[in-house]
Amino acid sequence: MSTVLDIRNLTRVHGSGEQAVHALRGVDLAVASGELVAVMGPSGSGKSTLLTCAGGLDQPTAGEILIDGNDLTTLSRNAVAALRRRRIGYVFQDFNLIPALTAVENVALPLELDGTRARAARKYAEAALLEVAIPELADRFPDDMSGGQRQRLAIARAIVGERGLLLADEPTGALDSDTGEAVLQLLRDRCDQHGIGGVLVTHDARHAAWADRVVYLRDGVLVGQSGPLPEADILLETH
Amino acid sequence: MASWGPPLRIARRTIRRSLGRTLLVAALIGVPVLAASWIGLIDRAANPTGELLAKTTIGQADARLTVTPYSKSSPLPERPSLDWGEPGPAPGIEEPDRDPTKVDPLTLLPTGSKVARPLLLGNTVDVHGPETDTTVGLTIGDGQNELTAGTFKLDQGRMPAKADEVAISPSLAKYLNLLDGGELRADATLITAKDQKFTVVGVTRSLQDPNTGTMFATPDTPLTKPDPATSVQYLVDLPDSADPDALSDKLVGQGALLLPRANIVDPPPSMYSNSQDAGATAVMALVIGFGILEIVLLAGTAFAVGARRQTRELGLVTAAGGTPRDVRRVVLMQGLFAGIIGAGSGVILALVAVFAGKPLWERMLSMVFVGRQIPWPNLVAVAALGALAGLAASIVPAISAGRQTPMAALAGRFTVVAGSARLRKPAVILLVAGVASTLLGNVWMAAALETARKNAANVDYQVTITPTGPIAMVLVGITASIIALVWMLPNLVAKTAGLARILPLSGRLALRDAARHRHRTGPATAAIMMAVAATAAIVFAASNAIAAEAKDYVPAARHGDAVLRAEQSSEGLMASSPPQTQKVAGLLPVEARYDLGSVSLPGAKANGGYLPTLMAIGPPGMEGTVGYPLLVIDPEYVARFDDYGKQAAEALRAGKIVVQRPEMLASGSVKVTSDDDYDGKKSFGHAAVAIAGPPRISALQQSSLISPEAARKLGTVRVYETQFELKREPTDSELAAVAKVLGHDDLLTIEKGYRSPARLWFLGLIGAATVVTLLGVAISVSLSAAEGRADLATLAAVGAPPRRRRNLAAAQAWVLGQLGCVLGVGIGALYGYTAHAAFGSPHFMVPWQEIGGIVIVVPLFAGLLAWLLTRSRLPMVRRVD
């Protein structure tokens, strides 16, 4: 299996001097294709920062982020944007859908921004909506959809096209447990069936159980990792 | 190459979702577009071109034929057009050698041609009115002939077909009480002062002067006799085989001019066509440019609000893989759409306003709109400018939005690098250079005007000069100053923060907030500056123009006297007749009555409606004005004017002519001749004296004087004005009674010295400036509220009462309004200083009251408005959004 995401010695410092806050300190993480990695840790441990840096939404202070061998830290803004359009799918906790666009237009957005003709982009988008089981909502606006539908839509946008890396930041945070489970199933299937590498940020052990591997962050440092969480551990932790 | 689809889609839907903001921007663009389109449409309605112009001038005819009183005429130097009058006589012919009314036009035209007399204004006729006789214009022509169709507007009935029939204008019908519920009475008749009776068969209007009291008669009317010395015009229908151009060439040799329809529809190039004045074009370009700049700055500030409120949505575009260019495109497309909506609405509303309000505009502008000619290229250009203004307004917000990092945008933060608060050196240099160029241009212009005035020292009428070079220098200077100020305004706003420490809390916060957010308060202040500059410039220019007018004003009569015009005036008012004058004299507290008139040689004939009159002329080679018309005036009238009056009255009683310039005399005599006697063949000598320094009464300043007795010995005296010396000022009821007799309330005027006509305009301008200023301030304050929510929340959290928030909004509105007003007045003053030189104002007038209103009242009012609007719980930004 090839490595989709290779993070090396990643450091992110907010501010400078005495006010400097180290969000990440020398984090190393590799994600292979078809693998789903969960990132856990307490609030302020740097989970989301790790994900935004990996997705090219934030610039690290030091280190390397290799996606398909391309180091994000050395690329121009436009090149990073192109990678986000083509290779990286991002799922946010609060969906981040564009309210001015319909469901199918939201999904087609990365493709159209990449120069795909509107009609072709729509076909790909409709296929993605079918995959997340909401094809009937194609022409609805996000404001007219439930939370679960919106998150499915966000996932559809994240998987449309030929994405190699799926980054999900607390994707079930705004959903009830049943809907959340369905969303995680979708992510898991995507990794298994399409060979996509996935990173799931969560603070819930039950959700982390969907992952092949769990890494733990504390104060911006990777403090450990494990294989898939056994069911008994999860039950212990949750009760 | 990224796609335009998503940005277009997002922009289109965002415009719909943010309807309030879109409408605000659209209105900012649409209102000026509406005004410009309205002016363009009205101008085209007043000055039609092409086929419509041909229809209004020669009706359905193929050509217009002018038969002159000369059997041969000189060829025209170029193809005939409407700009040309009639050709002069051929070399060797000095006197009219035929009666053009006796020439059968069909003998000049190919077989199968048809002719009709066009409707032309000729003499005046006195008619019996309900109160007394009145004088009306007489238009003669073949109104029944189809060739004249389109050259007049028939409202009711028909045009006269027989000599005892007439049609009359609506104003005359109303004055003569011939309308019954707006309809012409069936038995309507008109009786002239000579008791000639005519059946009124229709109500019609002249296209050029629809509100005048006019009657329309057939060419064989007994009301006037043809003048053998005057050319006659015909409308001509030519057979299909005729070549109008060839015929035109042929007829010139026969003392006739044929103007083909094609030359009216598409005028041939002319060496005399009006060339655009470079100065006027430059001023117009500058006015339009500044107008667009003002729109861009105001709308740009509104867009900045929108871009900030859209931060997160734009961040989502970035998160989805959009580049900064995609984000810029979203904002730019919103600007373009808003511009298109505003410009399109402006043009459509102008079309609706002009055509739906046609009767109103016709009445107000005293014209008839014929057809619906729409200057599409002009309207499209205006609309395109409006749409581009929308696009331009969104450029800076688009660039700012494109610079947002994805993380900041997703978090809803709109970060702006404000840059240094220090003034930029290039901007300062540009400002200094601009002001210097303006002042130098003014010095240059003043020198040019002074030289021109010295050259024309002997000419006693006002000299109008347009020195293009200095004006261009001034305009470049003012433009540079404005650009420099707009450039440095964010830094100037930042500089004001230094004053914060001496202010109370609200003022301190307002100043520091304005400085901190100078990237947006700068443009908002610039918008206010431009709005105020335009108004201040007009106020300065109008004040100085009025001062110049007041300086050059020459009263028509002695202060307190009444002046009654006795002739058809150029404004198209109905004239007063001798019986009317007598009746007016009985209605006013008259101490003495004085008639002013002209004198014509016995047997003098009117030419084109003008009767040649006598004038005193100086010897050949005399500098300045050579001829002074003879004013027939009672010596008692002149005797009232001090020493000059006593001397002049004595000379008039002795039968002498009084001239102003001694060099006009030769051995106690002055040469007198008719004003159409170009070669002096009819001149003769008359006893005269020269008395310099006539009083500042317009008639006395421009004339030589002669008593009625002496004038009657020279020819026929014609009274054109009567002045009444009054015992006291007439009461309103006396003036109302006079107006009833005259049919108008402005034929009689009481001389009260110069009176400025511009007071209402001033108030209107101040009102407009206040509205635009407040708009700019409101947008800026709303933006401040949107960005300052966190600060306000913190204030509330630490116990600040709600009043503090209102104070803060009010203080910020005042700060921005004050800075913008002061700078705007400065720019306006630069304009005004130029205007004072150009208009010939005696000194630079500063309209302190109006400027004070702008500088003090407008910002305070803005602050008050902000204070009131911030009172409710809803932040102001919600009102704008």
In the 3-class helix/strand/coil scheme, how is B40-65 assigned residue by residue? HHHHHHHCCCHHHHHHHHHCCCCEEE
pLDDT band for position B20 (50/70/90)?
A: confident
**Arithmetic mean of pLDDT, B1-11:** 76
Chain A residue with minimum CA distance to B410: A96
Q: d(Cα B724, Cα B338) in Å, to the nearest integer? A: 62
- Residue A209, classed as helix, strand or coil, is coil
For the segment B516-569, what is each residue's pLDDT rounded down to a tens digit?
777 667 777 887 787 788 778 877 877 777 777 777 788 888 888 999 876 543
Place of tokens 């996935």: A198
Q: How far apart are CA B573 and CA B877, in angstroms?
A: 55
A49 in reach of chain B (CB within 8 A): no
Question: How does strand B684-690 pair with strand B614-617?
Answer: unpaired
Q: Is B65 exposed, middle or buried (0-12, 13-18, 19+ CB in 10 A)?
A: buried
Strand partners, B138: B215
Q: Determine what percent of chain A is predicted with pLDDT higher than 70.
A: 94
- Residues in A closer than 8 angstroms to B9, CB to CB, are 100-101, 105
Sign of the Cα pseudo-torsion (B325, B331, B333, B339, in order): negative
In a mutational test of the A interface, the residue from B19, B311, B323, B413 whose CB has the highest number of chain A CBs within 10 Å is B323
Predicted pLDDT of residue B283: 58
Name which of A58, A86, A116 is nearest B407 (Cβ-Cβ).
Answer: A58
Residue of B nearest to A154 (CA): B320
What's CA B367's distance to the chain center, in Å?
Answer: 15
Task: Name the pLDDT band for B748 (thresholds 50, 70, 90).
Answer: confident
pLDDT of A1 reads 67
Q: Are strands B562-565 and B748-750 parallel, antiparallel or unpaired?
A: antiparallel
Q: Is B591 strand, coil or helix?
A: strand
Q: What is the pLDDT of residue B878?
A: 38
Strand runs labelled E in B129-187: 133-140, 152-157, 165-168, 179-180, 183-184
Task: State which residue of chain B sits closest to A81, comparing Cα positions.
Answer: B321
Interchain pair B6, A101: CB under 8 A = yes
- Which residues of chain B are within 8 Å of residue A88 when distances are taken between CB atoms? 321
User: Rounded distance, CA A105 to CA A125, Å?
Assistant: 8
Residue A30: Cβ within 10 Å count: 14
pLDDT at B45: 82
Model confidence at B438, in pLDDT bands (50, 70, 90)?
A: confident
**pLDDT value at position B452?**
65
Nearest neighbour of B407 by CB, restricted to A57, A97, A114:
A57
- Which residue, among B4, B9, B309, B415, would best test binding to A if mutated, counting the most A CBs under 10 Å from its CB? B9
The pLDDT, as a whole number, for residue A65 is 93
pLDDT, chain B, mean: 80
For B166-187, write each residue's pLDDT tens digit: 999 988 888 888 888 889 888 8
d(CA B551, CA B281): 28
- Confidence at residue B399, expressed as pLDDT on a 0 to 100 scale: 84
Q: Is the pLDDT assigned to residue B461 strictly greater than 60?
A: no
pLDDT at B651 over 70: yes
What is the mean pLDDT of the segment spanning B233-239? 90
Q: Which two tokens stand for residue B856?
A: 């003090």
Region A190-209: mean pLDDT is: 88
Task: Identify any residues that bridge with B686 across adjacent strands, giving them in sequence order.
Answer: B670
Q: State the smallest CA–CA distance between residue A110 and chain B in angstroms.
A: 6
pLDDT confidence tier of residue B794, bands split at 50, 70 and 90: low
Share of chain A above pLDDT 90, in %: 31
pTM for this model (two decimals): 0.67
The fold of A36-59+79-238 is Rossmann fold (3.40.50)
Distance of CA A155 to the CA centre of its chain: 9
Distances (CA, A) of B541 to B278, B534, B546, B828: 20, 11, 8, 9
For residue B192, give the DSSP letter: B
B352 touches chain A (CB under 8 A): no
Chain A within 8 Å of B181 (Cβ-Cβ)?
no
Supply B768's token pair.
């407009």
pLDDT for B744 equals 64
d(CA B675, CA B669): 18
Residues of chain B neighbouring A86 (CB-CB closer than 8 A): 321
Chain A residues touching residue B404 (CB < 8 angstroms): none
Cα separations in angstroms, B29 against A42, B39, B382, B388, B563: 53, 16, 11, 10, 48
DSSP at A35: -
Reading the block at residue A40, the tokens are 């856990």
pLDDT tens string A115-167: 888 889 999 999 999 988 899 999 998 888 888 888 889 889 888 888 899 99
d(CA B106, CA B503): 91
Q: What is the pLDDT of residue B462?
A: 43
Q: Which of A85, A86, A100 sits opposite B10 (nearest CB)?
A: A100
Residue of A nearest to B327 (CA): A113
pLDDT score for B656? 93
Please say whether the beta carbons of B600 and B718 come within 8 A.
Answer: yes
What is the pLDDT at residue B780? 63
User: Which of B197, B127, B92, B236 is closest to B576 using CA atoms?
Assistant: B127
Distance from CA of B56 to the nearest CA of A (A): 54
- On whether the CB atoms of residues B165 and B219 are closer than 8 A, the answer is no
**Candidate from A83, A98, A115 with C-beta closest to B2:** A115
Q: Looking at the complex, does the CB of residue A58 fall below 8 Å from at least one CB of chain B?
A: yes
pLDDT at B740: 78
A84 to B326: CB separation less than 8 angstroms, yes or no: no
pLDDT tens digits for B592-630? 999 898 898 887 766 655 678 899 988 877 776 778 899
Q: Which of A56, A92, A109 has its CB closest to that of B6?
A: A109
**Candidate from A197-211, B117-131, B467-481, B765-779 with smallest mean pLDDT:** B765-779
Banded pLDDT at B874 (limits 50, 70, 90): very low
pLDDT for B572 beyond 50: no
pLDDT in tens, A6-51: 999 999 998 887 778 888 999 999 999 999 999 998 888 889 899 9
Cα angle vertex B127, ends B124, B133, to 5°?
110
CB-based contact (8 Å) between A213 and chain B? no
The pLDDT confidence band at residue B198, using thresholds 50, 70 and 90, is: very high
Give the H or E element holding residue B118.
none
Q: Which of A85, A97, A106, A113 to mutate to test the interface with B (most CBs of B within 10 A)?
A: A113
B422 class by beta-carbon count within 10 Å (0-12 exposed, 13-18 middle, 19+ buried): exposed
Mapping DSSP to helix (H, G, I), strand (E, B) and coil, where does residue B750 land? strand
Nearest-10 crossing angle of helices B19-46, B324-356: 40
Looking at chain B, which residue has its C-alpha nearest residue A104?
B6
Cα dist from B793 to B511, B800, B865, B874, whole Å: 18, 9, 22, 13
Q: Does B415 touch chain A (CB under 8 A)?
A: no
- What are the residue ranges spanned by the domains of chain B? 120-218, 469-494+502-553+756-881, 562-750
More confident residue, B761 or B827: B827
Least-confidence region, from B313-327, B333-347, B652-666: B313-327
- E strands, chain A, in order: 3-14, 21-32, 36-40, 62-67, 70-71, 88-91, 165-169, 197-201, 213-218, 221-226
The pLDDT of residue B716? 86
* A75 and B CB contact within 8 Å: no
Q: Report whether B375 contacts B40 (CB < 8 A).
A: yes
pLDDT in the model for residue B653: 93
pLDDT value, residue B513 = 76
Three-state SS at B628: strand
For residue B570, what pLDDT is reported? 35
Q: Looking at residue B655, what is its pLDDT?
A: 93
Distance CA B689, CA B652 (A): 9
CB contact under 8 A, A113 and B9: no
pLDDT grade for B575, boundaries at 50, 70 and 90: very low
> In this complex, which of B320, B325, B406 lies closest to A109 when CB atoms are compared?
B320
* Cross-strand bridge partners of residue B32: none
Q: Which residue in A has a C-alpha nearest to residue B329's C-alpha?
A: A113
Mutate which of B3, B318, B331, B407 to test chain A, going by most A C-beta atoms within 10 A?
Answer: B3
Domain residue ranges in chain A: 36-59+79-238
Among the partner-chain residues B3, B9, B323, the one whose CB lies closest to the CB of A101 is B9
Does B402 contact A at CB distance below 8 Å?
Answer: no
Q: What is the DSSP string of B668-690?
A: TEEEEEETT-TT-TT-EEEEEEE
If phi > 0 it is left, if psi is from -120 to 50 it is alpha, else beta; for residue A146 that is beta
Tell me, what's the pLDDT at B633? 92
B322 touches chain A (CB under 8 A): yes
How much is the pLDDT for B838?
64
For A:86-145, CB contacts with B below 8 A are 86, 88, 90, 92, 96-101, 105, 109-110, 112-116, 118
| Alpha-carbon gap, residue A177 to B60, rounded angstroms | 86
Residues of A in contact with B313 (CB under 8 A): 98-100
More confident residue, B14 or B837: B14
User: Is B285 at the interface with chain A, CB within 8 A?
Assistant: no
Is the minimum CB–CB distance between B413 and chain A shorter than 8 Å? no
Helices (H), B310-323: 311-319
ipTM associated with this complex: 0.71
The answer, yes or no, to whether residue B203 has pLDDT greater than 90, is yes
Question: B871 pLDDT exceeds 80?
Answer: no
What is the residue type of A215? Answer: V
Percent of chain B with pLDDT over 70: 83
- Chain A residues with CB-CB distance to B318 below 8 A: 81
| pLDDT classification of A76: cutoffs 50, 70, 90 | confident
Q: A150-164, B128-142, B187-201: which range is least confident on average? A: B128-142
Instruction: Give the position of tokens 């499915």.
Output: A152
List chain B residues with CB under 8 Å of A98. Answer: 10, 313, 316-317, 320
